[in-house]
A and B are shown apart, each in its own frame.
Chain A
């Protein structure tokens, strides 16, 4: 039996996915005035769910960003809506924070069991 259970490893994988998403959303926001820019995003929930269902190892799971070519919201061909990106950024930040809190609480439990504190 390993020290960390599958939930802990899932949390770690989700944190990786969420931090990648944070970078992509930051990139969308930085390119809000770039003509013809197509927004990038990553659906790490779907990748995680699929890996869990197929029994794929979560430790080596990597997430691949997608480019949304379908929408154009501005006359210069840009696909970035600054308001939507800001909302997604705030949402993703909260999600990341929640993941960190839960992962931290779980390691604290382990530490207590080990008699560290």
Chain B
């Protein structure tokens, strides 16, 4: 519904990028975790995004459909999270015989987390978040300018 759509779309972008930052932070925090939930070393997680599809359940969508007398679809629905997947690359093997989780040869399996990759992902997510904030602010400004027409 007009400029509210733009604000909603930017909102989906904000939550998607926020989740990317959360998952990246989780990867960095678990960079040395040798005992994950299943007793195996922690595996790096990654957020998979996809284009959001209209569910037609929001108030605006239902109103538009009722007014149009048939189906009415929003031109854009933003982004949604398709899932959080585990990176299947093998764990890092480090020789450390003193470590309690070392195997018979003295090697420890550490998570497949590369701090450099995570930092780059973090910057990318943070920049994208800012871009969505700007787009939301712009839509908000435009909307209030339109309201000024009524004065």
Contacts of B43 in A (CB 8 A): none
B149 & A107 in contact (Cβ 8 Å cutoff): yes
Tell whether A20 is near chain B: CB-to-CB under 8 Å: yes
| Cβ contacts under 8 Å, B124 to chain A | 33
* Cβ-based interface call for A110 (8 A): no
**B3 / chain A contacts, CB cutoff of 8 Å:** 19, 22-23
Question: A111: shortest Cβ distance to chain B, in Å?
Answer: 11
Complex interface residues of chain B between 42 and 61 (CB less than 8 A to chain A): 48-51
Query: In the complex the two chains form, is B2's CB within 8 Å of A19's CB?
Result: yes
Interface residues of A in 68-117 (CB under 8 A from B): 82, 85-86, 89-90, 93, 96-97, 100, 103-104, 107
Main secondary structure of the interface of B (DSSP, over half): helix
In chain B, residues 115-139, which have Cβ atoms closer than 8 Å to a Cβ of chain A? 124-125, 127-128, 131-132, 134-136, 138-139
Which of B77, B128, B142, B148 has its CB near the most chain A CB atoms (within 10 A)? B142
Range class of the B interface residue count: 35 or more
Which residues on the A side are within 8 Å of B131 (C-beta)? Answer: 29, 32, 82, 85-86
Judge whether B5 is part of the interface by a CB distance below 8 angstroms.
Answer: yes
Chain B, residue nearest A86 (CB) = B131
List residues of chain A with CB under 8 Å of any chain B CB.
Answer: 15, 19-20, 22-27, 29-35, 37, 40, 42, 65, 82, 85-86, 89-90, 93, 96-97, 100, 103-104, 107
| 22 cross-chain CB contacts under 8 A | A20-B75, A23-B5, A23-B76, A26-B5, A26-B13, A26-B136, A27-B9, A27-B77, A29-B132, A30-B16, A30-B78, A31-B49, A31-B51, A32-B128, A33-B128, A34-B79, A65-B76, A82-B128, A89-B134, A97-B142, A100-B148, A103-B149
